[in-house]
Chains A and B, each alone.
Chain A
């Protein structure tokens, strides 16, 4: 496969996929032993289920382009990257890749904990296909970029995860590849390292490399890629400019989410009607400042959480609380009426409170909202919807400069 160019003209795309399908053929049940296998063969009972990881994909990426791939997990993004990295071959179709492909590995893939940083650099370089002479030449630069200093001669098991991430990244990106494959690598390591790797990728890009980028961050896709493709169930849904594809993708995502939300709204609330509650949460709405229900906000936008309750008996000292969790479970905040000195006497019937957030400080992501009604007398939870509501922060198309972390402090910079 390493034949010299067979007369491919220079303005042809650097990566081309023609009618590519990848079909994984999986036994329907896992057959792990010989005995079982032979019994099945004799019975003629081996059934295979084929699973199309990619289905008739056509794709061209030009030299110097930064091309983004988006889609849900299992949509075929990684399979596509593997085809380009020639780790797997297509079941049907043709893959043409021109030039040296450098894949960015997950942190520490191929590293051995007992070897020193130095030994690992040479081993890793060899795995990436470099010769001894090349590795000797690269070594000082790699050490410098990784900022490991004297640690380079310590065994890798003594490194922090950030240190091995830096080292792995330094080895993979030291040379100028023709094609760089980046699979969510920007989300590892500490912030400083993320920034540094971001800059390194920019400089590789500036020198004319083609980059294939998979990311779940629409900001990254939009800010780095010229074009992008949206993969869904092994097929390309849209291939266009990155902005257009991200727009479409987010449109669909928020549609899906609204549908989920309204379905959830009709579903029976937790606890159901069976159990008697002196007071219950009747309705929770997440509104923008125009009083419209909304699921997707951007950082800095105003938000109101409207909570309606129905009291079946008078509650003398009601406390209404909410909690916001990031999708990964981090508890962001938990304001309640008692903290803010609001004492609620709820007579029987419908009542409600609004929690007004003038400007959401949260960065991009999915957030869950919990609502609780508590009787302050005795501190009894009367009704509780645990992470039952959600909203998304998406800064796409909005003037938000900050990129990292959970929240913005809305600080300002001044010259000293």
Chain B
């Protein structure tokens, strides 16, 4: 029960901190769920994040899986796992949605306020910095992991950089590329 309340607290706060989109809270989410609460391992976090990239819809819906694992981790029965998932999804989507709903009412009043432009310009580099920290948060497990061999890490880094490069030059559905990453992983990373 205490875990469910903690999940609610953590993800409600993350919801309201997600400035500039969901990726901006990845580093904080990783820190809270892996290091502070130990709901998921660093490997779990990287896997869950990347599974989320393959599902349709908003890519941060994967946060539900963290709730799912957290409940299992706390030793609660299996049926509760879906409750954990539901709590996290509600906690992560509802606060920001309420805020947006309310703010879209009063937004028009600020339409010509020059500070709006300042906020957008000022926040842009912070959002990018947070997304970069998100790359680091997932990458320190998924791309360069000291627990793995040099050979393993060189493959994971190559796969990541290849995806980055391909997406810059070709218009391909990213979900497809991630699936290809899975095939490459299955082929080259087994048993090493």
Partners in one complex: no
Using a CB–CB cutoff of 8 Å, the interface residues on chain A facing chain B are none
Using a CB–CB cutoff of 8 Å, the interface residues on chain B facing chain A are none
